[in-house]
Structure 1
């Protein structure tokens, strides 16, 4: 049972990073609009939207990695806790 506090701390770090990335992604996409730019007169708006999409695409792999890591660690911690509780009940 001595490994559980360390796992909880590592899980908390992964979960905090995951939540921070989700908050950052939400902040970025808050101003994103679904528009189709057909002419060059609105090139500034097109550049702004392209920059938002580029930033979101850049952090997408990190969001996936931290999300999967937090989910796997959650399952592992629950499994360890359940196994330990089962051993104490016997």
Structure 2
């Protein structure tokens, strides 16, 4: 089981890096987002910009969720393998 651990760590590192990159990208996108209600047509350009930001954030949200869950499950698995191996060596 320990022979699979290096490969699991590499896959975990890739998944975690992608997850963190998407979080950074979402943070960069929402940096300029404002909570405003546009009532007149004179501000339609700002409204288009805000709706484009929301569209981009909504587009990457499922990927963020999947990668976050995958990273959490893999972290628990790696910790479980380490714990199991340590338990076996203590016996």
Q: TM-score range by the shorter chain?
A: over 0.9
For structure 1, list consecutive stretches of 5 or more residues without a partner in the other structure.
none
For structure 2, list consecutive stretches of 5 or more residues without a partner in the other structure.
none
CA distance in 2, matches of 1:70, 1:13: 9
DSSP-derived class of the 1:2 partner: helix
CA distance in 2, matches of 1:6, 1:81: 14
The alignment covers a number of residue pairs equal to 90
CA RMSD, 1 decimal: 0.4
TM-score normalized by structure 1?
Answer: 0.99
TM-score normalized by structure 2?
Answer: 0.98
Moved over 4 A (4+): none
CA displacement at 1:4 relative to structure 2: 0.6
